[in-house]
Structure 1
């Protein structure tokens, strides 16, 4: 095996940090931020409480890391769908690819989803920060992409269109347990989520086409 294919073993520090993150995700997802103590997390991770302060500062820092460490910066997500040469279909494919990517991480994705739902119900401020610094820039970027393909300015109807396009993927993210219960065959295959992406693109293209038709009728 060539040297470039040999993965370097993680340091003890990296392993300790990952164990703390894994234990924190389990407990925060099950109990929420307020009901979870640093002592519980350290015990579950096989570490001491001082390690939390060393790697994360405090419980709030560990909670923030458990929620956001996996999330790419918004500009990286935007680059998946906002490229000058992209067709509408390519842009939509890139959008759904980055949107559903966190769901393809197995059990960790489910834990993070439960944590985010708890954060919405029991806010600590992280959710509002994510809206302002993550969701809003991606929303505005998709609005600009759709407006460009419709050859119109970004107006409230374009913004309404963005919400509709995003909702197709958000339903899978937020209501995956409902999808699995009602139509388990649509999520049971190993590449099930990958199979959803081109179909979501089809549906989104149809919504954009409907918007274009509505505008043309209005202009006529």
Structure 2
């Protein structure tokens, strides 16, 4: 979704910088934009402010991203894994239920593995959720919905159900909600039990525990379905 360049050559800050320096300028613009958009929102962040924070020429934004909207979209493109790559981590016909659930949570918690960048990445998403520019609806339609439907399909396979009904959809939402609570409520977790979010090993432990919880939930639902058929 990156905006197409609108110039034939990059606007170097001093007119003599090599191309590699221009590429570094583009990356600095992206990093500065992610931070500022996440902290202030799209409408309250100016291109001049972004350029100043990145130590770049304002004209570089036009060259690399077209305009502020293009830069905003590029921020998400830079941090979003293609939905197909996420789905393949948990939707495989040979996966056991546990393997599928673990893969689902691994792709959901991937942003937290970014270390110091995790806060920036999550803030950007949360800001879009609170002050939608239209990207969030696109994210729901193009990424969240396909992932949900894939998870519903996985649950159907392990529940012995032909197609997802309301019960399966609610189960899929519940499975995802456990991890969403962890992501959105990380400030609460950090305030009460900071060691539970202290680095990749702690996040990996979350994945295993969430997998245990979700597996128990799915198996309980399967037992109910089987009892209903008896």
Could you tell me the TM-score, scaled by structure 1's length?
Answer: 0.92
Match of 2:157 in 1: 148
Q: CA deviation at 1:68?
A: 3.1
Q: How does 1:48-197 map to 2 (within 5 A)?
A: 48-153=57-162, 154-197=164-207
Match of 2:212 in 1: 202
Cα gap change, 1:120 to 1:88, in 2 (>3 Å): same
Residue-pair matches, total: 211
Q: CA deviation at 1:67?
A: 2.5
Which consecutive aligned stretches of 4+ in structure 1 deviate over 6 angstroms post-superposition?
none
* Cα distance in 2 between the residues matched to 1:14 and 1:178: 38
User: Which blocks of at least 5 consecutive residues in structure 1 are unaligned?
Assistant: 1-9
Q: CA deviation at 1:64?
A: 1.3
Could you tell me the TM-score, scaled by structure 2's length?
Answer: 0.88
Q: CA RMSD in A?
A: 1.3
Match of 2:31 in 1: 22
User: Which blocks of at least 5 consecutive residues in structure 2 are unaligned?
Assistant: 1-18
What SS does the corresponding residue of 1:47 show, helix, strand or coil? coil
- 1:18-46 residue CA offsets vs partner (Å, 9 max, x unmatched): 10011111211121111110000001101
